[in-house]
Amino acid sequence: IHKFWGSQPILLNSNNELSELNSPIIQDSIAIREQPFTLSSSFEWSELDLTLDCEIQELYELLCENYVEDDDHMFRFAYSKQFLIWALKPPGWLSEFHCGVRVKTSHKLVAFISAVPAQIFVKGKLKQMVEINFLCVHEKLRNKRVAPVLIREITRRVNLKGIFQAVFTSGAKLPNRPVAVCRYWHRSLNPKKLIEVEFSYLTRNMTLQRALKLYKLPEKPITPGLRKFKLSDSKAVCDGLNLYLSRFELCPKFTETDISHWLTPHEGIIYSWVVQPTPSEPITDMISFYSIPSSVIRHPKHKHLYTAYLFYYFTTRTLFQDLLYDALILAKSNNFDVFNALDIMENKSVLEDLKFGMGDGNLQYFFYNWCCENIATDNVGLVLQ
């Protein structure tokens, strides 16, 4: 029944696995096709040039109108153009991995998939992989088997660079067996608006007045020595974060250049802080979150929900709960409406105390061409955009 995934080197939900654990499912030496896969005759491949504002604009519009929605079709991710540049052009990015499909006659962009290279540790083994993201097919072109062609084509392009493993996440259930199944949790920062757009709700015991009081936060962060991340922190943060992440079975390995890219603060994209008790002392802790607005589908008053997503952090001196509390305060003071976090890393241990509530969405993690046993959510140390 799964005509596409049934033909791919993945773990299936049904079968017993034949492959050796923590190793590739198929070997690297398979013949790699030299010609792009064939699209139906009215479409053509188009590598996006994300140095051009007009092409970023086209991708932005495709995703704003056609990308991921919640189960009830009330909210749809509305990644900003600057965010897309940040997510799609990390160190090592290749334009071949920004893979678009256009209508031949009109040149309209109607589908997209991306890959970015990343070094990933799985159960202690370091593997060069790509992270796959932003798979999107225009609503009018759905259920015509375009997605499998996009996936085969990005696989071919990645294989041509000598990479044979990928990691990706999905909110929707797939025939693939996920390595981890995670949950979204949400912390109200602006309860009035969240209720107005029906992201959140009141109960008999919870009036608006009580909600406002419950979720109220101080104006300024509390941890002494907390300040914005700066470029010159990259080395110390790289060392601190890699060491912290090495406790998880699934995590990335960052270079100093990666850290500069992923953590240098940019308004509306990425917010990062470090704790440095005094200027003469080393950095002891770090926390970051990124910004993805969502469109509120058909609402008379509110067009967007401003959402902060917990990204990477590490602690050596500060209690994680105190650090995340400061992140909530900083997100609120930067006008975010809600703060989202997955139940990965150490998050689960503090979410309830910090008044997060469980969401109705899942996030599953998958590998392509890697055989491995399930990983518990609190052993996941990888965050994708």
Verify binding: residue 71, ligand JJ1, rule CB under 6 A: yes
* Contacted by 146, from ligand JJ1, ligand MYA, none: CB < 5 to 8 Å by type: ligand MYA
CA count, 13 A, side-chain hemisphere, 324: 27
For residues 64 and 59, give the distance between their C-alpha atoms in angstroms, rounded to a whole number.
8
Name the residue among 252, 239, 258, 269 with its Cα closest to residue 92: 258
Q: Locate 81 and state its tokens.
A: 């153009």
Among 78, 151, 245, 331, binds ligand MYA (CB under 6 A): 151
- Scan residues 162-221 and list those touching ligand MYA (CB under 6 A): 163-166, 168, 170, 172, 174-175
Q: Which amino acid is at 359?
A: G
Residue span 171-210 as binding mask against ligand JJ1, x where in contact by CB under 6 A, dash where not: x------------x-x-x----------xx----------
Verify binding: residue 12, ligand JJ1, rule CB under 6 A: no
Binding residues with ligand MYA: total (CB under 6 A): 37
Residue span 115-144 as binding mask against ligand MYA, x where in contact by CB under 6 A, dash where not: ---------------x-xxxxxx----xxx
CB environment 6-22: b (16+ within 10 A), e (fewer): eebbbbeeeeeeeeeee
* Contacted by 200, from ligand MYA, ligand JJ1, none: CB < 5 to 8 Å by type: ligand JJ1
Cβ atoms 4, 347 nearer than 8 A: no
Binding residues vs ligand JJ1 (CB under 6 A): 68, 70-72, 74, 133, 169-171, 184, 186, 188, 199-200, 357, 359-361, 363, 384
Which residues contribute to the site for ligand MYA (CB under 6 A)? 2-6, 66-68, 130, 132-137, 142-148, 151, 154-155, 158, 163-166, 168, 170, 172, 174-175, 368-369
